[in-house]
Amino acid sequence: MTGLRARQKADKNRRMLEAATRLFREVGYDAARIEDIAERAEVSVGTFYNYYENKGDMLVATVAMEVEEVLEAGEPIVANPPADTLEALSALINQYYDHSLVYLSKDMWRTAMAISIQQPDTPFSRRYTELDRALCRQVSTLIQRLQQRGVVIMGVDTAAVGAMFFNNLNMMFTEFVRDEAMSLERLKDDVARQNRPLATLISAPQQQA
Compute the distance between CA of residue 108 and CA of residue 24 in angstroms, rounded to an integer. 7
Q: Which does 184 bind (CB under 5 to 8 A by kind): DNA, a second copy, none?
A: none
Question: What spatial distance separates the first Cα and last Cα of the chain, rounded to whole Å?
Answer: 64
Closest to DNA by CB, 43 or 199: 43
Residue 76's H or E segment, with its range, is helix 55-79
Give me the residues that bind DNA (CB under 7 A), please.
Answer: 3-6, 8-9, 12, 30-35, 43-47, 49-51, 53-56
136-164 b/e (C-beta count within 10 Å ≥ 16 → b): bbbbbbbbbbbbeeebbeeebebeebbeb
Under 8 Å between Cβ of 163 and 140? yes
Give me the residues that bind a second copy (CB under 8 A), please.
Answer: 110-111, 113-118, 120, 129, 156-157, 160-161, 163-164, 167-168, 170-172, 174, 177-179, 193-198, 201-202
Closest to a second copy by CB, 91 or 163: 163
**Residue 52 CB, nearest approach to a second copy (Å):** 19
**Residue 127 CB, nearest approach to DNA (Å):** 18
Closest to a second copy by CB, 95 or 170: 170
Contacts of 185 (CB under 8 A, 6+ apart): none
Nearest to 52 by CA among 119, 98, 147: 119
Q: Which does 55 bind (CB under 5 to 8 A by kind): a second copy, DNA, none?
A: DNA
Compute the distance between CA of residue 161 and CA of residue 26 in angstroms, rounded to an integer. 40
Q: Which does 54 bind (CB under 5 to 8 A by kind): DNA, a second copy, none?
A: DNA
Closest to DNA by CB, 2 or 208: 2
**Residue 118 CB, nearest approach to DNA (Å):** 11
Closest to DNA by CB, 30 or 75: 30
Q: Which does 32 bind (CB under 5 to 8 A by kind): a second copy, DNA, none?
A: DNA
- The burial class, CB within 10 Å (0-12 / 13-18 / 19+), for 21 is buried
Closest to DNA by CB, 32 or 78: 32
Q: Which amino acid type is present at position 54?
A: N
